[in-house]
């Protein structure tokens, strides 16, 4: 850690502090800083940023902070502090915007379906706000009360950037203990998230579309910076 740039060190420390505070005051921290659905009364504009520093468990934060350290350091030394932070937070914002956009679209489609059946909008939101979600409100209720948290979206952006600079670096997944070059590993990982996010076949609480959003913004930034940078990209 002594050789870790202060910027990355500070990001890790803030994440750890927020995680410890969440363990001590889970309800208060989640209500204030996790990303809530925009139509939920618990939503606050700062959650677009603060959700990146919230984590749901020790494994969640351990994986994300290790990835931030492992992939962030080489990128930091290429970019410097300002460019690194711009990239990191842009990828995190891309993650939350895509995830929330998909959730919002699904929610409004269900809302219009119920309204077409003659159920007034005020009544629908009255039921949602009461917490007593009936069967035909189930999917809407899951979205309405869902929270998004974690640095994974920003991390996926860093993974994309790492694959641009170091395409032949070999990476491994725990459940695939075989080294795969970054130029194949990262697209495969994003494709899996896109598939799981669109189909929800795994029925897990993982925000797969947030991962895709972070990766997408990372790709756009890298292509944009590549176009305006005449240095060789490794």
Q: What percent of the chain is modeled with pLDDT above 70?
A: 90
Higher pLDDT, 233 or 156: 156
Candidate from 36-40, 63-67, 109-113, 159-163 with smallest mean pLDDT: 109-113
Domain ranges of the chain: 6-227
pLDDT tens, position by position, 167-191: 999 887 666 678 889 899 899 989 9
The pLDDT, as a whole number, for residue 232 is: 43
Q: Read off the pLDDT band of 202 (50, 70, 90).
A: low
Per-residue pLDDT, averaged over 122-132, amounts to 80
SS3 for the chain, per residue? CCCCCHHHHHHHHHHHHHHHHHHHCHHHHHHHHCEECCCCCCCCCCHHHHHHHCCCCHHHHHHHHHHHHHHHHHHHHHHCHHHHHHHHHHHHHHHHHHHHHHHHHHHHHHHHHHHHCCCCHHHHHHHHHHCCCCHHHHHHHHHHCCEECCCHHHHHHHHHHHHHHCCCCEEEECCEEEEEEHHHHHHHHHHHHHHHHHHCCCCCCCCHHHHHHHHHHHHHHHHHHHHCCCCCCC
Q: At the topology level of CATH, where does 6-227 sit?
A: Rhomboid-like fold (1.20.1540)
Residue 233 has, within 13 A of its CA and on its CB side, a CA count of 17
- Number of residues in the chain: 234
Q: Read off the pLDDT band of 214 (50, 70, 90).
A: very high
pLDDT at 97 over 90: yes
The pLDDT, as a whole number, for residue 233 is: 40
Residue whose token pair is 């669109």: 198
Q: Read off the pLDDT band of 230 (50, 70, 90).
A: very low
The pLDDT, as a whole number, for residue 128 is: 84
Q: Read off the pLDDT band of 196 (50, 70, 90).
A: confident
């Amino acid at each position: 850690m002594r050789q870790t740039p202060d910027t990355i060190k500070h990001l890790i420390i803030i994440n750890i502090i927020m995680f410890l505070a969440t363990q001590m005051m889970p309800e208060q921290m989640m209500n204030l800083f996790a990303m809530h659905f925009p139509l939920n009364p618990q939503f606050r504009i700062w959650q677009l940023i603060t959700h990146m520093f919230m984590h749901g468990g020790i494994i969640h934060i351990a994986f994300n902070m290790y990835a931030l350290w492992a992939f962030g350091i080489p990128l930091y030394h290429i970019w410097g502090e300002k460019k690194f932070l711009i990239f990191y937070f842009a990828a995190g914002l891309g993650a939350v915007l895509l995830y929330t956009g998909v959730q919002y679209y699904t929610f409004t489609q269900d809302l219009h379906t119920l309204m077409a059946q003659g159920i007034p909008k005020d009544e629908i939101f009255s039921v949602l706000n009461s917490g007593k979600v009936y069967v035909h409100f189930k999917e809407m209720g899951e979205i309405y009360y869902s929270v998004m948290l974690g640095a994974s979206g920003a991390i996926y952006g860093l993974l994309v950037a790492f694959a641009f600079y170091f395409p032949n670096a070999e990476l491994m997944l725990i459940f695939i203990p075989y080294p795969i070059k970054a130029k194949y590993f990262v697209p495969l990982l994003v494709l899996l998230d896109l598939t799981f996010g669109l189909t929800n076949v795994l029925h897990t609480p993982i925000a797969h579309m947030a991962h895709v959003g972070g990766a997408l913004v990372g790709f756009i930034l890298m292509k944009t910076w590549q176009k305006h940078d005449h240095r060789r990209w490794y």
